[in-house]
């Protein structure tokens, strides 16, 4: 496919997504019904679609409208590509520019800070400005770019240097990342990863560097009993198992289906993780981790659709749920144990305010907390370690 044909495909897909269809489904269906498109084409079209969802506000403003075509015109303008050379109507290229489009593209663009702000949901802007303070502008700029691909080295099986060498031998170039001693940032060859020997034999796992940095917060003694109360696909449980192979780790989630990948992932990693059925946790634990359901605002570079789907009502539901889960999970902490609360959110209402509300009852206090934003390289993340008063 030519670059112009890829733009034309992305325009159609974005129109379907803007009409309410989920991006992943739209992309999968397009791949199935356009078998001529090779893996390079599919990846390029996917990147165009996700770039446009991430920068939806600014591309629409630059391109002249919130439509697939407006977004792709905005992308061309943001990247300094000449739309007239691509929108030619020849072959599979998008139709040539109309007079009104030419006039819009020739008019001065809004100021960069106005464009960056428009890539957040408008209703959330006051909250974000308050919560991020001086970090608002740099975080907004980071959130417009694609997230890096990070790996966690499974230190139960190998070292970071050895994992890096094994990956390089398979054409996957990486560099150590300062956020965590286990983190490697992939600089090329990311698409080879899932079929690589290093990945299949559990030397590395996909995990954001900020997520890895959060694990350093957690007190882990050999033999500790650990409960990952909101385990999902087991990212945190697996990292805990790698950091402390002697720990006795139990994974739990309200939705058993979400935990279905834990067994194969643990097998690959050589980790032992016990699964608890929803609501069937028994006993007490030295460490209880609550990686709470949240807005995911710290991960919106990777999941930009979620950014536009969040509503004030959903955020209120999530914060209420976070408080309930924290209170329930606290009941599983053994005397002298620790409760660790985490989110991948940038919003204080899900982070500091949640910890403040929990500790205000006077039964628990916060020992330490860590807040990371994409300015440190990884996703936005928050973690706090709590102990009984």
| Per CB under 6 A, 189 contacts ligand SAM | no
Which listed residue (16, 147, 224, 231) binds ligand SAM by CB under 6 A? 231
> What residues are designated binding site for S-adenosyl-L-methionine?
253, 291
What sign does the CA torsion over 329, 331, 334, 339 have? Answer: positive
> Which of 234, 219, 210 is CA-nearest to residue 148?
210
| Per CB under 6 A, 380 contacts ligand SAM | no
Tokens describing residue 4: 């112009």
Q: Which one, 19 or 257, has the nearer CB to ligand SAM?
A: 257
Phi, psi angles (nearest 5°) of residue 311:
-125, 165
**Terminal alpha carbon distance of the chain:** 63
**Which of 129-137, 164-172, 250-258, 299-307 is the region at the interface with ligand SAM (rule: CB under 6 A)?**
250-258
| Per CB under 6 A, 233 contacts ligand SAM | yes
Phi, psi angles (nearest 5°) of residue 369:
-145, 155
Q: Is 387 exposed, middle or buried (0-12, 13-18, 19+ CB in 10 A)?
A: middle
| Per CB under 6 A, 180 contacts ligand SAM | no
Give the residue at shortest CB distance from ligand SAM: 235
Residues touching ligand SAM: how many (CB under 6 A)? 15
| Per CB under 6 A, 302 contacts ligand SAM | no
Smallest distance, Å, CB 45 to ligand SAM? Answer: 28
Smallest distance, Å, CB 258 to ligand SAM? Answer: 4
Binding mask 200-229 for ligand SAM (x = CB under 6 A): -----------------------------x
Query: Are residues 269 and 156 in contact, defined by beta-carbon separation less than 8 angstroms?
Result: yes
Smallest distance, Å, CB 262 to ligand SAM? Answer: 9
Q: Which one, 71 or 230, has the nearer CB to ligand SAM?
A: 230
Smallest distance, Å, CB 303 to ligand SAM? Answer: 12
Smallest distance, Å, CB 229 to ligand SAM? Answer: 6
Query: Are residues 274 and 250 in contact, defined by beta-carbon separation less than 8 angstroms?
Result: yes
Place of tokens 């428009």: 118
Site for ligand SAM, residues 310 to 329, rule: CB under 6 A:
325
CA distances from 309 to 17, 166, 303, 305 (A): 12, 40, 11, 6
The edge-to-edge listing of strands for the beta sheet with 248-252 is 273-276, 248-252, 225-228, 285-291, 333-343, 381-388, 364-372
The Cα 3–Cα 22 span in angstroms is 24
Which listed residue (162, 165, 175, 254) binds ligand SAM by CB under 6 A? 254
Site for ligand SAM, residues 259 to 298, rule: CB under 6 A:
291, 293
| Per CB under 6 A, 381 contacts ligand SAM | no
CA dihedral 143, 301, 212, 204 (to 10 degrees): -130
Which listed residue (129, 258, 268, 302) binds ligand SAM by CB under 6 A? 258
**Which of 20-28, 51-59, 161-169, 253-261 is the region at the interface with ligand SAM (rule: CB under 6 A)?**
253-261
Query: How many helices (DSSP H) and strands (DSSP E) are in the chain?
Result: 18, 11
Give the catalytic positions in this structure. Answer: 344
Binding mask 134-173 for ligand SAM (x = CB under 6 A): ----------------------------------------
Q: Which one, 51 or 253, has the nearer CB to ligand SAM?
A: 253
- Alpha helix positions (H), 79-208: 83-86, 99-106, 112-117, 125-132, 136-143, 160-169, 197-200
Chain residues that interact with ligand SAM, rule: CB under 6 A: 229-236, 253-255, 258, 291, 293, 325
């Amino acid at each position: 496919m030519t670059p112009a044909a890829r733009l034309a495909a992305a325009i159609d897909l974005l129109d379907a997504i803007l009409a309410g269809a989920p991006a992943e489904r739209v992309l999968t269906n397009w791949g199935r019904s356009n078998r001529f498109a090779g893996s390079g084409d599919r990846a390029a079209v996917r990147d165009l679609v996700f770039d446009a969802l991430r920068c939806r506000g600014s591309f629409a403003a630059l391109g002249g409208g919130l439509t697939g075509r407006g977004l792709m015109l905005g992308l061309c303008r943001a990247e300094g590509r000449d739309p007239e050379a691509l929108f030619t109507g020849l072959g599979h290229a998008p139709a040539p520019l109309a007079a009104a489009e030419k006039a819009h593209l020739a008019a001065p663009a809004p100021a960069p800070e106005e464009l960056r702000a428009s890539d957040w949901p408008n209703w959330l802007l006051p909250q974000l400005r308050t919560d991020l303070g001086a970090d608002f502008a740099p975080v907004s700029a980071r959130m417009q770019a694609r997230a890096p691909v990070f790996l966690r080295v499974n230190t139960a099986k190998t070292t970071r240097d050895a994992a890096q060498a094994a990956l390089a031998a398979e054409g996957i170039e990486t560099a150590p990342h300062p956020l965590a001693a286990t983190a490697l940032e992939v600089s090329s060859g990311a698409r080879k990863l899932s079929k690589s020997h290093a990945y299949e034999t559990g030397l590395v796992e996909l995990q954001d560097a900020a997520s890895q940095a959060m694990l350093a917060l957690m007190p882990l003694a050999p033999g500790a009993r650990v409960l990952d109360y909101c385990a999902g696909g087991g990212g945190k449980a697996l990292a805990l198992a790698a950091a402390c192979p002697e720990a006795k780790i139990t994974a739990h989630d309200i939705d058993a289906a979400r935990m279905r990948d834990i067994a194969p992932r643990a097998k690959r990693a050589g980790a032992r993780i016990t699964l608890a059925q929803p609501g069937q946790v028994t006993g007490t634990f030295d460490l209880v981790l609550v990686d709470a359901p949240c807005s995911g605002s710290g991960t919106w570079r990777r999941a930009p659709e979620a950014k536009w789907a969040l509503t004030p009502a959903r955020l209120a539901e999530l914060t209420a749920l976070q408080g309930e889960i924290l209170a329930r999970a606290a009941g599983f902490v053994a005397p002298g144990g620790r409760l660790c609360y985490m989110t991948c959110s940038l919003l204080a209402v899900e982070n500091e305010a949640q910890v403040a509300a929990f500790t205000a009852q006077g039964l628990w206090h916060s020992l330490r907390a860590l807040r990371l934003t994409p300015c440190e390289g990884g996703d936005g993340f928050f973690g706090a370690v709590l102990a009984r008063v």
